[in-house]
Amino acid sequence: MPGFSTRAIRAASRIPDAPQPPLNVPIYATATFEVSDAAELGDLLEFAQPGHSYSRYSNPTHEALEAAVAELEGGEAGLATASGMAAVHGVMLSHLETGDEVIVPAAVYGGIVGIAQSVLHRAGIAVRTVDTTDHEAVADAIGPRTRLLWLETISNPTTAVADVAALSELAHANGVVVAVDNTFASPALATPLALGADVVVHSTTKYIGGHSDIIGGIVIGSAERVSAARKIVINAGGNASPWEAFLALRGLKTLALRMERHSTNALAVAQALEGAPGVAVVRYPGLASHPQHELSCRVLRGGMAGGMLAVELEGGRPHGERFLGRMRVAVHATSLGGVETLVSHPASSSHRQLSEEGLEAAGLTPGTLRVSIGLEDADDLIADLVAAAG
Ligand SMILES: Cc1ncc(COP(=O)(O)O)c(C=O)c1O
């Protein structure tokens, strides 16, 4: 008879039969999977047969999230990652080699500037920053080394809307691949692959998770592109956690409902703040005053424009700080896309990598505030934010 420890380990590893499928995807909290022989393990590690070998490579909970988001984005395959930045890294490094160039929007998440400075630069990959709302400027910027055009469906934080269809046509005519960060819109509002993009990334930390309780990311695209990104992510160790993949799956179930409420709340707040005392400019794609309002009605579904606003206050940075200190309902924190309204100051947080000129090129001033409108009652948010601005 084996000893107690041996029996305990065996007994506690026995997988139960569950003939009735659970309603939710189980969390496969396992680093590794038992194989029958070395050939099977070799095949699994090469993805030459279906199944799982080691959770840095793949895991059934990740697989469920990958399939779900791929279906919602209209993509062939998906790759769940440790963070949105791991997804960005996987896509960039699988499309770019030393000597190549990537075009990124001037108005873009600060992490893109971060990866350009800390990773792409070291790899000898050039990054060209262009106002991607100006299609002539994009056409002029495409050169013989350009391999990738990076876009955000709705830009962080200035809410510029990308004309993914027109820019994809332009890029493809020049042999350039189009990657779109669809984090701000979520697949409930926009599906860039259907507009012509080649690959999509999300920070699932934001709207897909929806509750500010996970860090995660995902890549969606053709099986070939996703498999190339997977190779990078496996070797860089950027794999997702099954616990967080489970929470992202749970978030997906209410994504459509949340995006509706984020959008109606954000429109109500944007309308109330526009012209309110102390407010210079409100940028929200749902406002008629937004430079790409018409485009946003074409790109974003259901008359919704998402939950993100950029608010420029009169009085610049000191008034921005006063605003943050006066809020009673909204919370001063970085991140976005959760049930609670979060306000941050990009110049000192998400976009701290940018110089004064970089901020200006991105359409930001040192006083711009990024507002992620949550699911609270619109009247409470309006009262809180209008009072904080005045
Ligand atoms: C548009 C966008 N993309 C990517 C990221 C990076 O995501 P994560 O923080 O999950 O790595 C963020 C984070 O704020 C973001 O706003």
Q: Round the average pLDDT of the chain to a whole number and report it.
A: 96
Cis ω on the peptide bond leading into residue 157 (within 30° of 0)? yes
- 306 pocket-lining for ligand 1 (C-beta < 6 Å): no
Residue 120 DSSP one-character state: I
> Around Cβ 379, how many Cβ atoms within 10 Å?
11
Q: Tell me what pLDDT residue 260 has.
A: 98
CA–centroid distance, 85 to ligand 1, in Å, is 6
Contact 306, 160 (CB under 8 A): no
Alpha-carbon torsion angle 169, 172, 174, 177, nearest 10: 130
Position 346 pLDDT exceeds 90: no
Q: Ligand 1 test: best mutation among 81, 108, 109, 189, most atoms within 8 Å of CB?
A: 109
CA–centroid distance, 41 to ligand 1, in Å, is 34
Inter-axis angle of helices 316-326 and 378-389, nearest 10: 140
Q: Tell me what pLDDT residue 261 has.
A: 98
Residue 112, token pair as written in the block: 């893109």
Query: Hey, whose CA ends up nearest to atom 9 of ligand 1?
Result: 84
Q: Tell me what pLDDT residue 362 has.
A: 79
Q: Tell me what pLDDT residue 317 has.
A: 82
Inter-axis angle of helices 378-389 and 255-273, nearest 10: 40
- Burial of 357 (C-beta count, 10 Å sphere; 0-12/13-18/19+): exposed
In which order are the strands placed within the sheet that holds 126-130? Answer: 77-81, 217-221, 199-203, 177-181, 146-152, 101-105, 126-130
Residue 326, token pair as written in the block: 């006066």
Catalytic residues: 56, 109, 181, 206
Give helix then strand counts, H and E, for the chain: 15, 12
- 109 pocket-lining for ligand 1 (C-beta < 6 Å): yes
139 SS3 class: helix
Please write the tens of the pLDDT for every residue from 276-290: 999 999 999 999 999
Position 349 pLDDT exceeds 90: no
Position 354 pLDDT exceeds 90: no
CA–centroid distance, 111 to ligand 1, in Å, is 7
CA–centroid distance, 33 to ligand 1, in Å, is 31
- Distance (Å, rounded) from C-alpha 166 to C-alpha 197? 10
Query: Alpha helices of 157-222 — where are they, by DSSP H?
Result: 164-173, 186-189
CA–centroid distance, 112 to ligand 1, in Å, is 9
- 200 pocket-lining for ligand 1 (C-beta < 6 Å): no
- Distance (Å, rounded) from C-alpha 97 to C-alpha 197? 20
Q: What percentage of the chain reaches a pLDDT higher than 90?
A: 92
Contact 179, 198 (CB under 8 A): yes
Please write the tens of the pLDDT for every residue from 142-201: 999 999 999 999 999 999 999 999 999 999 999 999 999 999 999 999 999 999 999 999
- 205 pocket-lining for ligand 1 (C-beta < 6 Å): yes
- 152 pocket-lining for ligand 1 (C-beta < 6 Å): yes
Tell which residue, 91, 32, 56, has the closest CA to residue 225.
91
- 85 pocket-lining for ligand 1 (C-beta < 6 Å): yes
- 209 pocket-lining for ligand 1 (C-beta < 6 Å): no
Query: Hey, whose CA ends up nearest to atom 6 of ligand 1?
Result: 84
- Distance (Å, rounded) from C-alpha 152 to C-alpha 139? 18
